Amino acid sequence: MTKAGNELSWKDLEVGSIITEPGNASQYQTGDWRTQKPTYEHSRCIKCGLCSIFCPEGCIEPNQEGFYEANLFYCKGCGICARECWTKAIIMVEEA
């Protein structure tokens, strides 16, 4: 897609709105639905990865040091990771 989704006009769409670039859903920034975002207290994190298993968006991965963090481009801020975390290492805060 040469244009961002919200810049497309009716003249740009393929017939029947067919998508010719498979996998372009990854360009959709679901992160802008968010009203809260996860923050991390790494001293409490035991790197169990439970948050990444529960994440409905599948957007939590370990960073270079092995601490699990959400990719905020996709994170919708549901807070399930914070709720499930054994050690309360994830704290949801209001978006600025």
Binding site for other proteins (CB under 8 A): 5-6, 8-20, 22, 25, 28
Q: Six-digit token pair at 8?
A: 């497309």
> Minimum distance between the CB of residue 96 and other proteins, rounded to whole angstroms?
25
Least Å distance between CB 16 and other proteins?
A: 4
User: Do 20 and 2 form a contact (C-beta atoms < 8 A)?
Assistant: no
Whole-angstrom distance, CA of residue 47 vs CA of residue 91? 16
What phi and psi values does residue 75 have, to the nearest 5 degrees? Answer: -60, 125
13 versus 46: smaller Cβ distance to other proteins: 13
Q: Which is closer to other proteins, CB of 32 or CB of 61? A: 32
